Copies of this chain bind each other. A is one copy, B any other.
Amino acid sequence: MTNPIPMAEIWRGPFLESVHRGHAVVCDERGEIVEAWGDPEAIVLPRSSAKMLQALPMVESGAADAAGLDAEQLALSCASHNGAAIHIDRVTEWLSALGFCDDDLRCGPQEPGDRAVLEALIRAHEAPCQYHNNCSGKHAGFLTLTKHLRAGPEYVDMDHPVQRAVLGAFEEVTGEESPGFGIDGCSAPNHAASLHGMARAMAFYAVAREGQGARENAAVRLREAMTAHPELVAGEGRACTRLMRAMGGKVAVKTGAEAYFVAILPEKRLGVALKIMDGGTRGAECAIASILVKLGVLDPAHPDAQRYINGPILNRRGLETGRIKPAATLC
């Protein structure tokens, strides 16, 4: 196995202070590797980068239509959101319309990243709920499919019909038998795949067309929901939201915990998957932005590209003390 290669550098004054190493791969619509850095066959858990795969059975099965979901709810089903009002209000309404409440979620409570919501909770001496969890949209999707299948409440168990459907879709779209799974931060199974397999899956989302059957229809709807509602997929100030906006809705991107990142490029008919092997999110953000620039879909002069490929590091007094930059291999 090839060692991970330098992808992002942290400079402070004249010193290279830290380096993020990883693997990345770009795949075409045939699932062939167009370009790779490090080891494209590295097997790693994609974490939340797999959310559009985990949402696929809900749409493909007709459960989403039966529940009357719109594009905003589909975007939330693929989201790692901030727990801002725009997210939690929609998830709460969605659960309520299905006849579910916070107690039916299995993601666990999480303090919201959104500062206004966090401060309101603290001032009210209230604890966060499960709908504040960044994965609550994905779980609302799981509950939507659970209801449609008339299945039991423990929808994160690996032998539950929802998770069996997710595994089936995951393996078919990555084109690989998954070697196993880990339990995610939100308690759902998270299936392992090679980076190549994940990039192949993203290329499938890139070239999916309406009218080619339920799976492609579902992939198109999820892809378009993500690019139409970047603020629901992450939140203000977050990389997924900034980068999708900077690319004018032409590319869908999704981060995952421990520095995974994927991208779906419909016009280029390409899929991308990368993992910074140390789990450093700032490195994954720099690497995906650099690759999107190389692929000609992100303007390197855009402020939300510059932020990740040549971003200043500010200290407590607001002084610039360093920069984050792509390593030579990604320039």
Q: Which residues of A contact B (CB under 8 A)?
A: 3-4, 10, 12-15, 17-21, 43-45, 106-110, 119, 122-123, 133, 180-187, 190, 192, 258-259, 276-280, 283, 315-319, 321-322
- Taking A12-B183, A14-B182 as known contacts, 11 extra A-B pairs with beta carbons closer than 8 A to each other, sorted by chain A number, are A10-B258, A14-B180, A18-B258, A18-B278, A19-B278, A106-B317, A108-B318, A123-B123, A187-B316, A278-B278, A278-B283
Residues of B within 8 A of A181 (CB): 13
Copies of this chain in the oligomer? 2
Determine which of B17, B119, B187 lies in contact with A182 in the assembled complex, contact meaning CB atoms within 8 Å.
B17
Given contacts A277-B19, A278-B21, contact A13 B316 (CB under 8 A): no
**What's the nearest-Cβ distance from chain B to residue A230, in Å?**
25
- Chain B neighbourhood of A20, CB < 8 A: 278
List the 7 closest A-B pairs by CB distance, nearest first. Answer: A108-B316, A13-B182, A278-B278, A12-B182, A18-B279, A108-B317, A183-B321
Choose from B17, B190, B321 the contact partner of A279 (Cβ within 8 Å).
B17
- Kindly state the separation between the CA atoms of A107 and B259 in the bound complex, as whole angstroms: 31
Q: Is the CB of A109 within 8 A of B277?
A: no
Which residues of chain B come closer than 8 Å to A319, judged between CB atoms? 183, 187
Assess whether B108 is in contact with A187, with CB atoms less than 8 Å apart.
Answer: no
When A18-B259, A43-B15, A122-B123 are in contact, do A321 and B278 touch as well, CB less than 8 Å?
no
Give the distance in Å from the alpha carbon of A45 to the alpha carbon of B13 in the complex: 10
A186 partner residues in chain B, CB cutoff 8 A: 315-316
Complex alpha-carbon distance, A20 and B21, angstroms: 10
Give every chain B residue within 8 A of A190 (Cβ-Cβ): 12
**How far, in Å, is A291 (CB) from chain B's closest CB?**
19
The contact sample of 7 A-B pairs, CB cut-off 8 A, is A10-B279, A15-B43, A15-B180, A18-B258, A18-B279, A107-B316, A186-B316
List chain B residues, Cβ under 8 A from A122: 119, 122-123
Check if A187 sits within 8 Å of B15, measured CB to CB: no
Chain B nearest Cβ from A126, distance in angstroms: 12
Q: Hey, which chain B residues are within 8 Å of A18, CB to CB?
A: 258-259, 277-279
Q: What residue of chain B has the Cβ atom nearest to residue A283's Cβ?
A: B278
Q: Across the interface, which residues of B come within 8 angstroms of A283, CB to CB?
A: 278
**Contacting pair B44 A316 (CB below 8 A):** no
Q: Complex formed: what's the CA distance from A106 to B184 in Å? A: 42
